[in-house]
Amino acid sequence: MRVVTTQNTAHPVLIFWIIAGWIGFCLLPWYGVEDFWTFEWLVDGWPFDDDHAPAAVLLGMGQKLWLAPLIPPLILPLFALGRPKSDPMHGALLIVAGAFGLAWLVAQGFGIGLRGFTFDWLTAMFGELDDRQFGMGYGAMITASAFLFLFTQGIAARGAVNGDVFVVGAIGFVIAIVTAFVFFPIAKMLFAAFVTEEGGYSSQVFLSKFLNDRLWGLGCLSGARCGAAWNSLFLAIAVGFATTILGLAFALVVTRSGFRYKRALRALTVLPIITPPFVIGLALILLFGLSGSVTVFFADLLGIRPTRWLYGFTGIFIAQVLAFTPIAFLVLIGVVEGVSPSMEEAAQTLRANRWQTFRTVSLPLMRPGLANAFLLGFIESMADFGNPLVLGGNFDVLSTEIFFAIVGAQYDQGRAAVLAMVLLFFTLSAFYAQRMWLGKKSYTTVTGKGDAGVHPLMPKGLAIPVLVTALTWALFTIVVYVMIVYGSVVELWGVNNSLTLKHYVTAFRVQMGEDGIRWTGAAWDSFWTTIIIAAVAAPLTAAVGLVTAYLLTRQSFAGKNAFEFGTMLSFAIPGTVIGVSYILAFNVPPIEITGTGIILVVSFIFRNMPVGVRAGIASMSQLDRSLDESSLTLGANSWQTFRRVILPLLRPAILAALVYSFVRAMTAISAVIFLVSAEYDMATSYIIGRVENNDYGLAIAYSTALIFVMLAAVGLLQLLVGRVQIGRRTQHGTETTT
């Protein structure tokens, strides 16, 4: 009986989206004229006021007639309701309705803008349009989503991905948002590479900017300077290797050594990513610069002149390794923990010694982690902008060149676009190199079977160098951070070293007034905005990232490779380019969100999502598919499987994604500079303003405060997410919960 009912009555999800489409069209304000979160429209003349009217009412009043073709695709799915899923017409109806509705929505959105027709040929064809439209509001958004999901349900009904509604819907959703918020703005920006001075398009322009000596010069082989492209590439490879090795060393110390202060070490590795930009650079200058304490000390000791040795490749390398090792660690820790002890025990039973076990079993199983860690280090180094700016000396890299092509004295967005393309090309190459190296081997180690082993300790010959490396680096990190805290409590760092708390008072003063607490400190406004935006962005980022990772590892569909690269795109492009491309794309309808908090949240989601994707992929490729299959066999659908089986096993990846996106939302700078507005100012842009004003004390005090806030947040997240319970014995031999 039950089987028959599911066959004949429509899927509740289908009904839901049909209703949503109609609500979006008939009830909610079609255009978004005011801030997204204000609900003034409810009392301000809705539903008949022009600004807040739903599409149906507008049509009824004889306005915005180009919305009328949306009605048939809204009606069409109703006919699908009556048909069983097995009827080919069911799927066909939904596909046609969804595809046409979505296409028309997009076409009219781009075709008709704030000043009538956006394209000259439309005006030529239909004459001057005496009307205009604003950006999409709630109504348009919900109707668009409804069309999208009707379309994906149609495809699922036709049997794509085994007719799995959740998977097809998720794929459609991720493709749609990545297209809208990654491909679209970046494409818009990159077109500038072909624009001539007269405003036309020409590949000549591209070539002349591309074949430039400042980009590809090989002077460094003969003592002069190399082009920015080679510099960036060389630096990124070096940083990628160094961070991966250091990250692995830390992960091994934490999971496979008898080292006593593991927890402290673990906390320490998180410090650099929660540090706002420029702070590390400044600390390094005060330690190792021309007048830095360490440089001066050694110069006196050896009786030589202090030099500017820090500036250039060396300085950027040190700062980037310091800053990006934690990311490698976050990716690797999950993978190193996930390697099944049973396999290692099996190797040992077969008389392999510890070193052999490590080299032939453990290390190869960590390859997905190593590859992903390297890729992230490489990309981060390529896109990093703050460290090269402060420590670069005359060592030009792509990211700074791009920034100054846009905001510098050249005013050459075309050059920025060309440089961005070169950078993207390197990233793409690294991405494919990583895939080649991983090959098609299986790295599955977490199966559903009993797996109650204990990780063997590292072999001695390895343990000592690993421990020494990790501890030296940890010590270095501690010194840098002690310097930073010290810098926040002195009058003027490097000049007047008397202790004071005045910087904290200026930034975070709280006064008790008659009307309660008054937050009179200079930093509070940007502080609260930053916290709220970061708190909103982090869970969304993690969710989008992990769902994407799930699709990429667990499902196969056409265009998967391109899809995977697309998700990495926004991460690989320097923030400056993202910032400008977001203004270019989202300052005009159909999606008009500049000046709002939404654009900040959106930019953070798509900029930081790749870390969630990478961490998710690395962890998920360790989980045996038999886990999914047994869940599916027992009658769960793919959503339930994802939610109940995969997700709990992914806790380290979830934590990594959450922590990373929260923290990056609080410390990102280059994209944010273009997207902040008076109402939504962010901490980092405030800090940079202080630095420009020589207010180092206040800037460092604010940064230090942010570091503590983030530490607290990371701890809290760790508690909330909880630890993964793979059901292994602990090192002491007691059972953990299974």
Task: Please count the other Cβ atoms lying within 10 Å of the Cβ belonging to residue 164.
Answer: 18
As measured in angstroms, the least distance from the Cβ of 701 to other proteins is 15
As measured in angstroms, the least distance from the Cβ of 322 to other proteins is 19
Q: Are 28 and 139 in contact (CB under 8 A)?
A: yes
As measured in angstroms, the least distance from the Cβ of 513 to other proteins is 19
As measured in angstroms, the least distance from the Cβ of 217 to other proteins is 9
What tokens does 245 get?
């090795």
Closest to other proteins by CB, 153 vs 320, is 320
As measured in angstroms, the least distance from the Cβ of 492 to other proteins is 5
Closest to other proteins by CB, 180 vs 285, is 285
Closest to other proteins by CB, 313 vs 550, is 313
Closest to other proteins by CB, 120 vs 692, is 692
As measured in angstroms, the least distance from the Cβ of 689 to other proteins is 5
Q: Are 545 and 662 in contact (CB under 8 A)?
A: no
- Concatenating the DSSP letter of every residue in 249-261 gives HHHHHHHHS--TT
Q: With helix as H, strand as E and coil as C, how does 292-332 read?
A: CHHHHHHHHHHCCCCCCCCCCHHHHHHHHHHHHHHHHHHHH
Closest to other proteins by CB, 424 vs 673, is 673
As measured in angstroms, the least distance from the Cβ of 519 to other proteins is 16
Closest to other proteins by CB, 596 vs 704, is 596
As measured in angstroms, the least distance from the Cβ of 733 to other proteins is 55
Binding site for other proteins (CB under 8 A): 33-34, 40, 44-45, 49-51, 113-115, 132, 134, 214, 223-224, 285-286, 289-291, 308, 311, 389, 392-394, 400, 403-404, 406-411, 413, 491-492, 494-496, 580, 583-584, 587-588, 592, 594-595, 673-674, 676-679, 681, 686, 689-690, 692-695
Reduced to 3 states (helix: H, G, I; strand: E, B; else coil), residue 498 is strand
Closest to other proteins by CB, 153 vs 594, is 594
Closest to other proteins by CB, 6 vs 694, is 694
Largest CA distance in the chain: 93
Closest to other proteins by CB, 139 vs 338, is 139
Closest to other proteins by CB, 199 vs 516, is 199
Alpha carbon separation from 459 to 354, 397, 467 (Å, rounded): 5, 40, 12
CB under 8 Å to 647, separation ≥6 — which residues?
A: 546, 654
As measured in angstroms, the least distance from the Cβ of 280 to other proteins is 15
- The DSSP output letter for 51 is T
Q: What angle do CA 250, 253, 255 make, to 5 degrees?
A: 105
As measured in angstroms, the least distance from the Cβ of 69 to other proteins is 25
Reduced to 3 states (helix: H, G, I; strand: E, B; else coil), residue 197 is coil
What dihedral angle (degrees, nearest 10) is formed by the CA atoms of 347, 351, 357, 359?
-130
Closest CA to 404 of 148, 585, 161, 577: 577
Closest CA to 101 of 143, 156, 61: 143
Q: Are 242 and 317 in contact (CB under 8 A)?
A: yes
Closest to other proteins by CB, 188 vs 359, is 188
Reduced to 3 states (helix: H, G, I; strand: E, B; else coil), residue 58 is helix
Distance CA 603, CA 605 (A): 6
Distance CA 472, CA 479 (A): 11
CB under 8 Å to 140, separation ≥6 — which residues?
A: 24, 30, 31, 32, 55, 105, 109, 590
As measured in angstroms, the least distance from the Cβ of 645 to other proteins is 46
